[in-house]
Structure 1
Amino acid sequence: MSWIANARMYAVDPAAAAAWRELFGWLAAASGVELKVIDHAYPSPLSELWVRPDLGCGFMCGLPFTHAMPKPQPVAAPVPLNAALSGRPLYQTRLVVRAESDYQTLEDTFGGRLGYTVAESHSGYNALRHHLLPFWRTRGTNLYRESIGPLVTPRRVIEAVLAGAIDVGPLDGYALELMLRHQPDLAGRIRVVASTEAAPIPFLIASPQCPPAVVEALRSALLSFGDDAQCAGLRDRLCLLGFAPVRVVDYDVIAAWEAEAEAAGYMQPG
């Protein structure tokens, strides 16, 4: 049987998408699992991908994973080249502004327009809200005059920042690293004014219906990716050290951040 593969969350531009297709080709050969790479681009909802019974390998954010029933099967988690803690499958949300703006700190952006991706996103919503929660508690009122969204993807957040539609927006730190790797001119157009606490990164999942032997073959191959000398160039293009096992319990922190904000009555970042 053929299983589908998709890297929508981190196929942030054509060059990155091509690298992920190459990765899935390598994975199929290394694991012996037949994988068919499919497109599932915006505006198609990621939730439709996550419930496909033939999903063999696709990225899922930790926040929807904590809510999913039945749970998909974890395969492996990427370890970014510049992870928040070296060698760990962690990431941060970067809060970015236009490079030519006068904003030097996140607090400088208060009173302006804040963008967000979608309520089901950790990096673009939950981590953002968690980071803003202490400021919101101190002020006792909204921090921004407008919260603009859902912008859905990191690409659309950057476009909104550059167009002046928002003053500051959240970007998945690993997605941003990939964009800067393949679009180096972007570094001169945006500026990071704050970063959230580190959290466990989105990981590759398989459907609950995928046979355990298939999942284990995929996992075993991915865990060897970081040591494969022939994949050095591919690791560079994907800004990866390799992949690590998924510790499901680590994602409890994401649910805890969500619960804390909602218990405080801070329902939407802004």
Structure 2
Amino acid sequence: MQRVAALPNYDSKPSALEDFWRALRPRLAIAGLQGLPERLSWPTELLAHWRDPALLLGQTCGYPLVTELAGQVRVVGSLLHDAPGCEGVRNRSQLVVRSEDPATSIEQLRGRTVAYNGSDSQSGYNALRSLVAPLADDGRFFGRSIETGRHRSSAEAVRDGRADIASIDCISLAGFRRYLPDSVRGLRVLCETDDFAGLPLVTSLQTDDATLALLRRALAATIADPANASTCAALLLIGFEPLEYAAYSKHMTMRDDAFALGCRSL
């Protein structure tokens, strides 16, 4: 069977992700895995991709993991990054506003316009909803919301004045600052959300225990190998942590607590 591998979520520098796969792939091949792709896939239909029985290694968001993908994939673990807002396997979303915005706290954004990448996003939506839910009136905090489709577009919406605030994955934001600085020109971080487990690497439900263990060993070894230091530095990568599905339970707690306060949407 031809296997599938993709790491599409942090794509500020796609060439570095391809370099990482080229470093990881030989370790898997030497261990006897067959059907390894030469290159990463760049899927556009993500749910279908994550549910593909041929998926060897993919990356999803923690919120769809515990909602739409519950019981349909196996969790491999999470990559660790060196970026503001990261602490080990725990990440935070960073809320960006324009530099000239006088707001000094999230409370001062009441009634204004928020941009978000998608309602299925942990960093762009669920974590932000959890933050503002205790401040909401009749379930509403923001006056208007704009769905943009991706974190970069949310940042650009704030930059261009079409929105006043956006919640950006801290690793994405660090990547934008390094590789796509125009997308975050004139923005500053107002505050951060509560922390949560970083993006899960996943594999098909059909992946056996031996292959799962191999993936975890190979990921850790690839990142630790000094020969890959420049590639990992380009991706802000500093480690890998094996995780199980239960590590993402806080995502549902965030949602349920917001719902209990009557805040079901942004």
Query: How high is the TM-score relative to the length of structure 1?
Result: 0.88
| AA of the residue aligned to 2:96 | V
In structure 1, C-alpha distance between the alignment counterparts of 2:53 and 2:210, rounded to whole Å: 16
Report the equivalent of 2:144: 146
In structure 2, C-alpha distance between the alignment counterparts of 1:236 and 1:265, rounded to whole Å: 43
Counterparts of 1:190-269 in structure 2 under 5 Å? 190-269=187-266
Residues 106 and 193, structure 1, Cα contact 8 Å, conserved in 2? yes
Counterparts of 1:6-25 in structure 2 under 5 Å? 6-11=6-11, 13=12, 16-25=13-22
In structure 1, C-alpha distance between the alignment counterparts of 2:86 and 2:152, rounded to whole Å: 25
Residues 117 and 125, structure 2, Cα contact 8 Å, conserved in 1? yes
CA deviation string 1:65-122 (max 9, x = no partner): 1122433111231111136464x21111111112233333322322210112222111
- Cα distance change, pair 262–91 in 1 and its aligned pair in 2 (3 A): same
In structure 2, C-alpha distance between the alignment counterparts of 1:75 and 1:110, rounded to whole Å: 39
User: 2:160 aligned with 1:163, yes or no?
Assistant: yes
**Aligned with 1:37: secondary structure?**
coil
Q: How many residues matched?
A: 259
CA deviation string 1:197-218 (max 9, x = no partner): 1100112111112343333222
User: 2:75 aligned with 1:64, yes or no?
Assistant: no
Q: Which runs of 5+ in 2 are unaligned?
A: none
In structure 2, C-alpha distance between the alignment counterparts of 1:248 and 1:56, rounded to whole Å: 17
Residues 80 and 239, structure 1, Cα contact 8 Å, conserved in 2? yes
Residues 112 and 145, structure 1, Cα contact 8 Å, conserved in 2? yes
Report the equivalent of 1:81: 82
Report the equivalent of 2:5: 5
In structure 2, C-alpha distance between the alignment counterparts of 1:165 and 1:48, rounded to whole Å: 32
Report the equivalent of 2:174: 177
Residues 27 and 218, structure 1, Cα contact 8 Å, conserved in 2? no
| AA of the residue aligned to 2:91 | Y
In structure 2, C-alpha distance between the alignment counterparts of 1:265 and 1:142, rounded to whole Å: 8
Residues 83 and 90, structure 1, Cα contact 8 Å, conserved in 2? no
Q: CA RMSD in A?
A: 1.9
**Aligned with 1:10: secondary structure?**
coil
**Aligned with 2:9: secondary structure?**
helix
Report the equivalent of 2:109: 109
* CA positional deviation for 1:180: 1.6
Residues 106 and 191, structure 2, Cα contact 8 Å, conserved in 1? yes
Report the equivalent of 1:48: 48
CA deviation string 1:129-188 (max 9, x = no partner): 00111211xx44622221122x22111111211221111011011111122222345564
- Cα distance change, pair 45–163 in 1 and its aligned pair in 2 (3 A): farther
**Aligned with 2:100: secondary structure?**
coil
CA deviation string 1:31-75 (max 9, x = no partner): 2141341122xxx34212211111111111111111224331112
In structure 2, C-alpha distance between the alignment counterparts of 1:188 and 1:125, rounded to whole Å: 22
Report the equivalent of 2:127: 127
In structure 2, C-alpha distance between the alignment counterparts of 1:7 and 1:97, rounded to whole Å: 28
